[in-house]
A and B are shown apart, each in its own frame.
Chain A
Amino acid sequence: MDQFGDKLASKLHHYSVLPWNDVYGSVEAAEAFVLTNYIFFLIISFVVTLGFMLLAARKLDMVPSGIGNVAEAGYEFIRNMCNEAMGKEGQKYAPFIATLFFFILFSNLIGLIPGALPGTGTIGVTATLAVMVFVLYNFIGFKKHGFIGYLKSFVPSGIREMGWGGKLTLGVFVFVLEVVGHFLRPLTLAVRLFANMFAGGMILGIFGIFVVIGVAQLSAGGFAIAGLSTVMLLIMYAFKLFVGFIQAYVFALLTSVYIGGALHADEH
């Protein structure tokens, strides 16, 4: 047990760049307070997101232009998405989903800068966001339909109208499946974002290492490998840019769909 703890502490230390992390002597303190690289870049993303949006909010005008226009277009996009997924009721959750979207988007994009990491490339961050979404949408569901009403809505109305036999067999079965499905939602939300960002970074890193190794060989084959890897690196770079946008969009879309499902739980 202690051995594992030491290992963890050394690993955390390994992937943290900042000097003051040495302050924490104990494993527990390291586990709780070490500033990991991902969190470091997450904080940078936080500052960039905040700065960008506040700057954009100051540049608002009736005639859209520049940075304000970008922020407006993004926000309108999210608002329309909310409208579509949740209806009129969903309008008030638009700021929440827009925050998620922009935060994740800027984290993903900052991960594209060579040497930087995406803040969303670690399960700790994505799981936190996903669990927040899970808690929020279930809270909304319970608040709107009542405790029993929301749980009842897990079972389709067709089964609810059956006799007791059907209710006890099929109903319980479907209910258990639904509950498992609901618990899978935050898991998949978290792992999807984490895996995409992490794997993207890994692939870029691997091709980057290939380039360095190839050039260091100082041979024709080495240069060929380096050249090919550079091309692949550029292609993957473009792909990762695309993935960064798509994953932020998917996270926001699924959040709005889940909240919409909780809001309209009684309609199916």
Chain B
Amino acid sequence: MEGSLNVLGAGLAYGLAAIGPGLGIGIVGGKAVEAMARQPEMAGKVQTTMFIAIAFTEALALLGFVLALILSA
């Protein structure tokens, strides 16, 4: 019983943790496309910055992933 609750918690932890970063990465990507379309000559710089921003946003989802793994142990 305790184990199944753990697994449920793990699923919830990762699922909930993925909501925010999912939205965030979508916004980052969309804005980056906008920026690249507006200024194609800056595309390289925008892309680099986009990857950095995505990496920072992603961190939250990754924490959720780790938590899920720990909980489901």
Question: Do any beta carbons of A and B sit within 8 angstroms of each other in the complex?
Answer: yes
CB neighbours of A253 from chain B (8 A): 48, 51-52, 55
Q: How far is the CB of B63 from chain A (nearest CB, A)?
A: 8
CB neighbours of A191 from chain B (8 A): 62-63, 65-66
Q: What DSSP secondary structure best describes chain A's contact surface?
A: helix
CB neighbours of B52 from chain A (8 A): 253-254, 257
Interface membership of A188, Cβ < 8 A: yes
Q: How far is the CB of B21 from chain A (nearest CB, A)?
A: 11
Interface membership of A206, Cβ < 8 A: no
Interface membership of B59, Cβ < 8 A: yes
Q: What DSSP secondary structure best describes chain B's contact surface?
A: helix
CA distance A159 to B48 in the complex (A): 29
1/0 contact string of B41-60 vs chain A (CB within 8 Å) = 00001001001100100110
CA distance A111 to B63 in the complex (A): 24
CA distance A249 to B63 in the complex (A): 21
Interface residue ranges of B13-56 to A (CB < 8 Å) = 45, 48, 51-52, 55
Contact A250 B55 (CB under 8 A): yes
CA distance A167 to B18 in the complex (A): 35
Contact B55 A81 (CB under 8 A): no
Contact B62 A195 (CB under 8 A): yes
Contact A188 B58 (CB under 8 A): yes
Instruction: Count contacts between A and B, CB distance < 8 Å.
Output: 33
CA distance A254 to B51 in the complex (A): 9
CA distance A195 to B18 in the complex (A): 13
Interface membership of A152, Cβ < 8 A: no
Q: How far is the CB of B27 from chain A (nearest CB, A)?
A: 18
Contact B48 A188 (CB under 8 A): no
Q: How far is the CB of B28 from chain A (nearest CB, A)?
A: 13
Interface membership of A6, Cβ < 8 A: no
Contact A254:B65 (CB < 8 A) given known A81-B48, A84-B48: no
Contact B66 A254 (CB under 8 A): no
Contact of B62 among A81, A84, A188, A254 (CB under 8 A): A188
CA distance A85 to B55 in the complex (A): 15
Question: Which of B45, B48, B52, B62 counts the most A-chain CB atoms under 10 A from its CB?
Answer: B62
CB neighbours of A81 from chain B (8 A): 48
CB neighbours of A192 from chain B (8 A): 55, 58, 62
Interface membership of A35, Cβ < 8 A: no
Contact A187 B66 (CB under 8 A): yes
CB closest residue in chain B, given A249: B51
Interface membership of A184, Cβ < 8 A: yes
A-B residue pairs, 7 tightest by C-beta: A188-B59, A191-B62, A188-B62, A195-B65, A254-B55, A191-B66, A192-B62
Chosen A-B contacts, 14 in total, with CB atoms closer than 8 Å, are A85-B48, A187-B63, A187-B66, A188-B55, A188-B59, A191-B62, A191-B63, A191-B65, A192-B55, A195-B62, A250-B51, A253-B52, A254-B52, A257-B52
Q: A84-B45, A191-B62, A250-B55 are in contact. List 13 more A-B contacts (CB 8 A).
A: A81-B48, A84-B48, A187-B62, A187-B63, A187-B66, A188-B55, A191-B65, A191-B66, A192-B58, A195-B62, A253-B51, A254-B55, A257-B52
